[in-house]
Amino acid sequence: MNHSIRILAAAVVLAATAGSAFAQANVSVKDAWVRATVPQQKATGAFMQLQAAKDSKFVSASSPLTPTVEVHEMAMQGDVMRMRQVQSVELPAGKLVELKPGGYHLMLMNLKAQVKEGDTVPFTLVFEGKDGKRETVEIKAPVKALNNAAKPAHAGH
Amino acid sequence: MHQGISRRRALVLTGAAIGLGLLAGCNVGGAVSFNGTDITGADFGRDFRLKDPSGRERTLADFKDKVVLLFFGFTQCPDVCPTALARAAEVKSLLGPDGDRLQVLFVSVDPERDTPEVLNAYTAAFDPTFLALYGDQQQLAETAKEFRVIYQKVPTGDSYTIDHTSVTYAFDTHGKLRLKLSHSQSAIEYAADVRKLLHAA
């Protein structure tokens, strides 16, 4: 209960932030962000909200930052956190699908340099419709502090 | 004026809360209830011997008089680990002045990639007092066994990720294992338990 309220509040905060990149195509992408790293940290995650007008799926992402960008899903099995690469994420027509901590994320691996708060990371996202037609969406995601999850909903802090 | 009223109201509420707490305490024979699972007297999680990023060997005795929150993770983890550390930072801030008597320990399950430099910078990004601990593979295996934590490398592309137990253990000010908290619990629930452990001593 508490948890879902926090997530909802976080989504509202994110929605209020400027810099959303809306594409005019089938799939819209908003509130994308990348978690900052410390020097020599080789991997981090990227998060965003996806919405498709027609039934589609999110199939891949790439970025000039690193050749290794994968779509992962985190799932808790009892007390154990498991992370797996997934081949695609279903985007039912009209449904907002969130890539957020506790679920799906883009995994950026083999990073060659520190990803610093305030930087912007370009991504090319590839979606596929039911007819097999592919669509690419270019976005630029801001880098947010490593501890970004720390203050999701508490306006007072 | 307004402040005076709300302060008085807060005092009354505090008094009521203490009264209720005492009543509850009487009902259950002085036992305190926690948000986490009470594992007082557990025959595991007794101690560890690991290094901090400065190379100094650490055991639970180093954190006497503090409540310790200990959990396992790795810095390449994009989701659970930063969330757990961010929550721990929130717990510390919720505790106010008592926050100085909280020690957060982050045990790396990835000694291969989590160098002391990376670990130090990583925990400091959440709070400068948080301490990362690491050992070699043998020490890690022994510590994980002692704490009933599992960790498993999962290859992905030309890299790997690590599945691991995401519970947080709470130790009281005497270094005794008391609680097991879940990843799904909130900073407020964590903070309430830490406060009880601090003030039960």
Query: Alpha-carbon distance A80 to B41, whole Å?
Result: 23
> Å from A113 to nearest chain B CA?
13
Q: Are A11 and A5 in contact (CB under 8 A)?
A: no
Query: Alpha-carbon distance B132 to B123, whole Å?
Result: 7
Set of chain A residues whose Cβ sits within 8 Å of the Cβ of B156: 70, 72, 83, 85, 107, 109
H or E element, residue B121: helix B116-124
Q: Are A54 and A93 in contact (CB under 8 A)?
A: yes
Write out pLDDT tens, residues B126-182. Answer: 999 999 999 999 999 999 999 999 999 999 888 899 999 999 999 999 999 999 999
List the single residue in B78, B163, B184 with the smallest CB-CB distance to A35.
B78
Quote the pLDDT of residue B9.
53
Least confident interval from A81-85, A99-103, B28-32, B115-119: B28-32
Q: Is A145 in the B-facing interface, judged by CB distances under 8 Å?
A: yes
Cβ–Cβ of A147/B186 closer than 8 Å?
no
Query: Alpha-carbon distance B118 to B124, whole Å?
Result: 10
The answer to whether residue A153 is domain-embedded is no
The answer to whether residue A63 is domain-embedded is yes
- Asked if the model's pLDDT at residue B24 lies above 60, the reply is no
Backbone angles phi, psi at A19, to 5 degrees: 95, 10
Residue A106 sits in a domain whose CATH number is 2.60.40.1890
Asked if residue B101 and residue B156 are part of one domain, the reply reads yes
- Asked if the model's pLDDT at residue B112 lies above 50, the reply is yes
Q: How confident is the model at residue B200 (pLDDT cuts 50, 70, 90)?
A: confident
Asked if residue B104 and residue B174 are part of one domain, the reply reads yes
Quote the pLDDT of residue A154.
37
> Å from A65 to nearest chain B CA?
16
Asked if residue B40 and residue B27 are part of one domain, the reply reads no
Q: What is the mean pLDDT of chain B?
A: 88
Q: Is A141 in the B-facing interface, judged by CB distances under 8 Å?
A: no
Q: Are A141 and A87 in contact (CB under 8 A)?
A: no
Helices (H) then strands (E): counts for chain B: 5, 10
> Å from A32 to nearest chain B CA?
15
Asked if residue B44 and residue B17 are part of one domain, the reply reads no
Determine how many CB atoms are found less than 10 A away from the CB of residue A78: 9
The alpha carbons of chain B give a radius of gyration, in whole angstroms, of 19
| Chain B interface test: which of A80, A85, A108, A110 (most B C-beta within 10 Å) | A80
Residue of B nearest to A153 (CA): B90
The candidate with the shortest Cα–Cα distance to B82, out of A21, A64, A33, A2, is: A33
Compute the residue count for chain A.
Answer: 157
Asked if residue B191 and residue B153 are part of one domain, the reply reads yes
Structural domain range at position B121 = 35-200
Higher pLDDT, B110 or A7: B110
Residue with tokens 């930052």: A65
Residue B100 sits in a domain whose CATH number is 3.40.30.10
Asked if residue B191 and residue B167 are part of one domain, the reply reads yes
The answer to whether residue A155 is domain-embedded is no
Quote the pLDDT of residue B78.
85
The candidate with the shortest Cα–Cα distance to A49, out of A76, A13, A84, A77, is: A13
- Please count the structural domains in chain A: 1
Write out pLDDT tens, residues B169-194. Answer: 999 999 999 999 999 999 999 999 99
- Please count the structural domains in chain B: 2
Quote the pLDDT of residue B201.
57
Backbone angles phi, psi at B95, to 5 degrees: -75, -15
The answer to whether residue A21 is domain-embedded is yes
The candidate with the shortest Cα–Cα distance to A15, out of A96, A69, A133, is: A96
Asked if residue B188 and residue B174 are part of one domain, the reply reads yes
Structural domain range at position A63 = 2-147
Asked if residue B152 and residue B138 are part of one domain, the reply reads yes
Set of chain B residues whose Cβ sits within 8 Å of the Cβ of A39: 117-118, 121
Asked if residue B20 and residue B44 are part of one domain, the reply reads no
Please give chain A's pLDDT, 157 residues, in tens: 444 444 444 443 333 333 344 445 699 999 999 999 999 999 999 999 999 999 999 999 999 999 999 999 999 999 999 999 999 999 999 999 999 998 999 999 999 999 999 999 999 999 999 999 999 999 999 999 999 863 343 333 3
Query: Alpha-carbon distance A73 to A66, whole Å?
Result: 20
Asked if residue B123 and residue B99 are part of one domain, the reply reads yes
- Asked if the model's pLDDT at residue B94 lies above 90, the reply is yes
Asked if residue B135 and residue B123 are part of one domain, the reply reads yes
Asked if residue B134 and residue B73 are part of one domain, the reply reads yes
- Asked if the model's pLDDT at residue B105 lies above 70, the reply is yes
Quote the pLDDT of residue B158.
82
Cβ–Cβ of B117/A102 closer than 8 Å?
no
